Amino acid sequence: MSRNNIIGLVIIFALVIGYSIWMSPSKEDVRKAKLQADSVARAERLDSIARATQKLVEDTLKKTDVPAKPADTLKQTPVATEVYGSFANVANGSEKFYTLENEVLRLKISARGGRVWSAELKNYQTYDTLPLVLFEGDSNRFDLEFNTEDLKSINTGNLYFVPSPESANLGDSVSIAGKDSVQFALRIYPGSDSTGTGSKYIEYVYTLKKNDYMVGYQVRLVGLGNTIARNTRDIAIAWSTDMLRQEKSFKTELSQATIYYMDNTGEVDNLKETKDSQERITSAVKWVSYKTQFFSASFIAGDAFSSADIETVSFKENSDRKLKSMKSNYLLSYDPTKDQQYDLKFYFGPNKFRTLKKYDLNLERQIPLGWSFRPIAWFNKYVVVLIFNWLEKYGLNYGLIILIMTIMLKIVLLPIAYKTYMSSAKMRVLKPEVDEISAKYPKQEDAMKKQQATMALYKKAGVNPMSGCVPMLLQFPILIAMFRFFPASIELRQQSFLWAHDLSSYDSIYNLPFNIPFYGDHVSLFTLLMTISTIIYTKINNDMMGSTNQMPGMKTMMYLMPVMFLGFFNNYSAGLSYYYLLANLFTFAQMWLIRRFVDEAKLHARIQENKAKPVKKSSFQQRLEDMAKQQGYRTKK
């Protein structure tokens, strides 16, 4: 073998080794792959539990010649024993409800599954004045799932709980009644004791505090070391519910309903609102929240869930008031050698910034204030929300609050408005000279010369054509911040002003007998007035600028844009259209006020004086000229 062949083989061998090292996964990649594999295994395990349980029920029922029924409706003891083993004694029972409430929240808890059957927010109503219930009925399922030592797959959602000995004395309805907090516990006992005080049990403890939407939820597994399979290392949780419609606009509410979650680092994310979605979260999760437009039902870990699977499925309008189905699955670590206690929480309440902020869990990040672009979020959080909350204390109508807040913002932005007006005024007085330059260079091929001459004129007159754009750019984030704030503000919900019955939804002065695509089946007066005022502002602004050099079609587009927005805002928050209308009206007032104090004749004279003065060179220009002179001197030499 020649020397070149040996060298070639060595190089090939080195390349193979190097490529394998380079392509080998990092420790982080291995960790993520393991988490994903565990998550997949967990999902498969949950599915297998459900399938195995149902198959065992059907096979057992065939053996006993009993017609097939769902697992949770078994009434025959032999069948229940075959399916549930040591938990057969609690597989049968009658539906019973317990009520737990404080000043703001009423929970209905079912004996079957020990789950929250319904959650009612006592201080709120639906758009059609019904009690506001986030969810209710069997559509809300909350199950612990595990295997027993006798090889049975148990789902607690099918079992019947009874009050603990301490809670049995409280009755079926437990109210906070002036106390700081109340507790209510439900248990299931494996073995022969279904109602007694056995030493082995699964217990759910609900804790409700005064004037609080947060519900303490403890899960206790006591004395089950020989009941739950000894190789068990985690307990699965499955939570699913159908969130109900609460708002007038089904389409708008549906477009804002989704699942939010926060990982253990504090980062908040969500599934897409506008389409059905599902996601497997392989990192640790602190909480998962089922959010609608103004309300949410959240499940919060004491420490963190190792991972979570989440999914949303939308309903069609008029589906028994159902809005969107939301599902999630979790794992809780389990140690078979000792009793377990999991300190969890539920939040059933409004998406109100101050309310969510006090829990210090980043739950307020569910409110869409523009978190993806921090300046907008900061402006909403530290300016708009604070002003809004401060004005709320005086008990003013929310229409007046929006009016006062608009005045305050316009006063703050007055220097920017003045700067913008002065820039347009300078451009306006120079327009005759700009027209002369255009007449001097009428040909298309002279466009560069015309541009250079125009810029030379602006420079000599001391006018910066871009100076009016910067103030406008500074105002743009504020406009977007308002666009995010008003539709997300629960404070405006069901608050009337003038002809609008609900500032958080669209106002309608006339319902059309037909639906217009991209517009709707009603006429929103605030949106119509806002559109008219925007067109007037566009006309005034064009007249003030006296612009004749716009790109072809640009002038038409500037008038067409407000008309296009008419269709969009017609179905949006009336409070937002009202704010934009006020902003336009106050802009007109500012322009009139500034124009009274600006003498354009004197401004023109001052510009002519500037033109007569020598143009002051910048330090950068001076350095360039000095370098050129030095280079020229050296070349001659």
Q: Which residues pair with 270 in a beta bridge?
A: 260
Nearest to 356 by CA among 395, 432, 298, 280: 298
CA distances from 106 to 112, 134, 326 (A): 18, 11, 21
Q: What letter represents residue 610's amino acid?
A: N
Burial of 128 (0-12, 13-18, 19+ CB in 10 A): exposed
Assigned domain for 420 exists: yes
**Which backbone phi and psi does 152 adopt, to 5 degrees?**
-105, 145
Assigned domain for 511 exists: no
Assigned domain for 561 exists: no
Answer yes or no: do 437 and 338 share one domain: no
Rg of the chain in Å (alpha carbons): 34
Q: Model's pTM, two decimal places?
A: 0.75
248 contacts 496 by C-beta, under 8 angstroms: no
Domain containing 119 — which CATH number?
Answer: 2.70.98.90
Residue 204 to residue 332: CA distance in whole angstroms: 15
Answer yes or no: do 352 and 413 share one domain: no
CA 284, 300, 379, 561 torsion: positive or negative?
positive
Query: Where a domain ends, among 340, 367, 394?
Result: 367
Query: Where a domain ends, among 367, 387, 412?
Result: 367
Answer yes or no: do 313 and 404 share one domain: no
**Which backbone phi and psi does 284 adopt, to 5 degrees?**
-65, 140
CA distances from 47 to 69, 147, 151, 242, 507 (A): 19, 13, 16, 20, 47
The 3-state DSSP composition of the chain as helix, strand, coil percent (nearest 5) reads 45, 25, 30
Answer yes or no: do 334 and 420 share one domain: no
Strand duo 285-291 + 97-101: pairing: unpaired
Answer yes or no: do 385 and 447 share one domain: yes
Assigned domain for 133 exists: yes
Q: How many domains does the chain have?
A: 2
Answer yes or no: do 407 and 336 share one domain: no
Q: Which residues pair with 580 in a beta bridge?
A: none
The pLDDT of residue 516 is 83
96 contacts 193 by C-beta, under 8 angstroms: no
Answer yes or no: do 261 and 189 share one domain: yes
Answer yes or no: do 384 and 295 share one domain: no
The pLDDT of residue 259 is 95
Answer yes or no: do 335 and 387 share one domain: no
What count of Cα atoms within 13 Å lies in the side-chain half-sphere of residue 357? 8
- Residue for token pair 């947060």: 214
502 contacts 495 by C-beta, under 8 angstroms: yes
Answer yes or no: do 303 and 426 share one domain: no
Which residues lie closer than 8 Å to 340 by C-beta, 6 or more apart? 219, 220, 221, 235, 332, 334
Assigned domain for 30 exists: no
The neighbour count for residue 287, using CB atoms within 10 Å, is: 23
Assigned domain for 286 exists: yes
Q: Which domain holds residue 456?
A: 377-505+574-612
Nearest to 146 by CA among 109, 188, 95, 205: 188
For residue range 535-590, what is the model confidence (pLDDT) as tens digits?
Answer: 888 877 776 655 544 555 566 777 778 888 888 888 888 888 999 899 889 888 88
Regions of the chain short of the pLDDT cut 50: 1, 28, 30-40, 46, 49-50, 52-54, 56-57, 60-76, 548-549, 620, 633-637
Query: Where a domain ends, among 312, 339, 367?
Result: 367
Q: Indicate left, alpha or beta for 395 from its phi (over 0: left) and psi (-120 to 50: alpha).
A: left
The pLDDT of residue 560 is 79
Assigned domain for 580 exists: yes
Answer yes or no: do 321 and 383 share one domain: no
Q: Which residues pair with 218 in a beta bridge?
A: 205, 343
- Cα angle vertex 500, ends 498, 504, to 5°? 130
Answer yes or no: do 200 and 292 share one domain: yes
- Residue for token pair 């010649």: 65
440 contacts 491 by C-beta, under 8 angstroms: no
Rounding to the nearest 10 degrees, give the CA dihedral for residues 620, 625, 627, 631.
Answer: 160
Assigned domain for 526 exists: no
Residue 245 to residue 322: CA distance in whole angstroms: 6
